[in-house]
Amino acid sequence: MLRTNKPTPITSSTYVLLFVFLGIPALLFGGQYLFARRYRAKKQAVVTADFPDTWNAILLSNVPLVSKLPSHFRQRLETNIKLFLAEVSFEGQGGVQITDEIRVTVAAQACLLTVGREDKRYPRLKNVIIYPSAFTDSPRAPNFDPDNPTYRLGESWTTGTVILAWDSTKRGAINIHDGRNVALHEFAHQLDQEDGVGDGVPIFQSQSAFTAWSQVFTKEYEIQVKKATKGRRSVLDHYGATNYAEFFAVSTEAFFEKPKQLKRKRPEIYKILKNYYRLDPVSW
Ligand SMILES: [Zn+2]
């Protein structure tokens, strides 16, 4: 007797299972691959595009710190500005029309903070909102209190938004010796918030860097609190005594705008920021 193995019929439920276990992963993987390819192609196009002369003119007139930057960083800064402007959207509030002057002035300062570190950008940052001058809390802010509005020059949110008052931003960028720069301040907060928390402790590449940071910043913050409480003069703005996050942001302003004084008066802060930003503004 000849026995034959009758093939199992392929039912519709088999097709469903095949689709779930093979089809969906293939579609997802294919989609991701196409997205990554398109992203890389778009990034490459941005990187290879010329840096417009008009943008150079804006840097020259509005962001003099860029002219002081060592020449070997210039190419990276321009690339990072182009990528920043391709990835981050700008929105004007209170009648502000977003222009290249606003975009380039803001982007250049944001990118100054990261130019020392190859491929370091702002992974959480999605948009920058510009007001003409000091603004009250935005109703979209996480801690908005309509009964208690306060005026401010800048904000940085962990959800990926930086808000700036344009008059202060431009003034702070042009004057590079007063230790006050709202854009550097807010983008330092944005770096601090990269791990989802604004606590004055940004992301470090090693445990030893984190340990050194904790020791120096804890000690120096206590000194700052004492100076602020007693009204003593300080190379750092007393606002830095508010909390660790503000201490990091205020120290960053002084690092770029009063590097010599900071290195002389608070050498440990200068050294730890030099290691973090991988820049040495005293030598500029
Ligand atoms: Zn702040």
Q: What is the pLDDT of residues 71-82, one digit of tens each?
A: 999 999 999 999
Q: How far is the CA of 99 from the centre of ligand 1 (A)?
A: 25
pLDDT in single tens digits along all 284 residues of the chain = 555 555 566 677 766 666 677 777 777 767 777 767 787 888 888 989 999 999 999 999 999 999 999 999 999 999 999 999 999 999 999 999 999 999 999 999 999 999 999 878 899 999 999 999 999 876 777 777 888 888 899 999 999 999 999 999 999 999 999 999 999 999 999 999 999 999 999 999 899 999 999 999 999 999 999 999 999 999 999 999 999 999 999 999 999 999 999 999 999 999 999 999 999 999 99
- Report pLDDT for 44: 86
- List phi, psi (to 5°) of 164: -135, 145
Region of residue 231 (phi > 0: left; psi between -120 and 50: alpha; otherwise: beta): left
Contact by Cβ (8 Å): 235, 258: yes
Q: How far is the CA of 189 from the centre of ligand 1 (A)?
A: 7
Q: What's the pLDDT tens digit per position in 168-200?
A: 999 999 999 999 999 999 999 999 999 999 999
Structure tokens at 106: 């803001």
- Report pLDDT for 26: 72
Q: How far is the CA of 190 from the centre of ligand 1 (A)?
A: 10
User: Any idea where the domains of the chain sit in the sequence?
Assistant: 199-284
- Report pLDDT for 35: 66
Q: How far is the CA of 200 from the centre of ligand 1 (A)?
A: 10
CA atoms of 67 and 162, how far apart (whole Å): 25
Q: How far is the CA of 144 from the centre of ligand 1 (A)?
A: 16
Q: How far is the CA of 152 from the centre of ligand 1 (A)?
A: 10
CA atoms of 214 and 218, how far apart (whole Å): 6
Q: How far is the CA of 216 from the centre of ligand 1 (A)?
A: 20
- Report pLDDT for 42: 82
Q: How far is the CA of 81 from the centre of ligand 1 (A)?
A: 23
Name the CATH topology of 199-284: Collagenase (Catalytic Domain) (3.40.390)
